[in-house]
Amino acid sequence: MLPDYYKCKKIVITAGPTYEKIDPVRFIGNYSTGKMGYAIAEELAENGAEVHLVSGPVKLEINHPDIKVYHVESAREMYAQCMDLFPTCDIAIMAAAVADYRPEEYHETKVKKNADHMTLQLVRNPDILEAIGQMKKAHQVVVGFALETDNEIENAQQKLLKKNADAIVLNSLNDKGAGFKHSTNKISIILKKGIIFEYPLKDKQDVAKDIITCISQNFK
């Protein structure tokens, strides 16, 4: 790690799932625990960064004076908070598992069961990483995550280009102990120009160290 690289840097991180409401008691969500994003936030703060953590609903807590946590629930709330923070940030790390779709309609009262089948109409959520990639200025570094089940490297490389990110952290569901619900993770980091770093299975706190070291060594 480059000494003092993170000192005085302002960093926005997203973490956890998003919940997309169907009615007052139901939502569409996913299994993300937020552990990876929270671990990165803690490592960055330990290294002197000013961290702004935009968190979906998780069971984790942060008690670090240099981490400000913004609790959000839906993708649209996460998007709004990130748009507000990103212009004054040096680095953005998008580790949240954002729902791609939300129910088109929110029911004010609990939906009753009637017919044997029911259809939920869904609409696309804003892509926060893509929006940030488009806003990015030359001095800003944007890091995305990808969770793939097939053609992992190729899909992650396409994501890097499509979303104008500087790096993509790839975790594969094919690797035992990696990704959702685990406290360990196995990642590869993909940079533009086809540079790929591969890492062994590690505790998420150690994976966080690898990620922030890689950023500090490759983006001056």
By annotation, the residues acting in catalysis are: 30
Pick the closest to residue 51 from 87, 16, 7, 19 (CA basis). Answer: 7
Report how far residue 18's alpha carbon sits from residue 98's, in angstroms, rounded to the nearest whole number: 5
Q: In this structure, is the dihedral angle defined by the CA atoms of residues 36, 130, 76 and 123, taken in order, positive or negative?
A: negative
Which region among 47-55, 101-109, 140-148, 189-197 touches ligand C5P (by CB under 6 A)?
140-148
Which region among 3-11, 63-71, 91-99, 212-220 touches ligand C5P (by CB under 6 A)?
91-99
Instruction: Kindly give, in sequence order, each residue whose CB lies less than 8 Å from that of residue 220, ignoring residues fewer than 6 positions away.
Output: none
Which residue is it, tokens 């089948």? Answer: 117
Selected binder of ligand C5P within 96, 207, 211, 215 (CB under 6 A): 96
In the complex, least distance from residue 132 CB atom to ligand C5P, rounded to whole angstroms:
7
Q: Which two tokens stand for residue 170?
A: 């790839």
Sheet strands (E) in 56-129:
67-71, 91-94, 101-103, 122-124
Would you call 209 helix, strand, or coil by DSSP? helix
Between 11 and 94, whose beta carbon lies closer to ligand C5P?
94
Which region among 19-27, 28-36, 106-114, 122-130 touches ligand C5P (by CB under 6 A)?
122-130
Q: Does residue 127 interact with ligand C5P by CB under 6 A?
A: yes
Q: Does residue 98 interact with ligand C5P by CB under 6 A?
A: yes
Q: Does residue 144 interact with ligand C5P by CB under 6 A?
A: yes
- Using CB under 6 A as the criterion, which residues of the chain lie in contact with ligand C5P when the complex forms? 14, 75, 94, 96, 98, 100, 125, 127-129, 144-146, 159
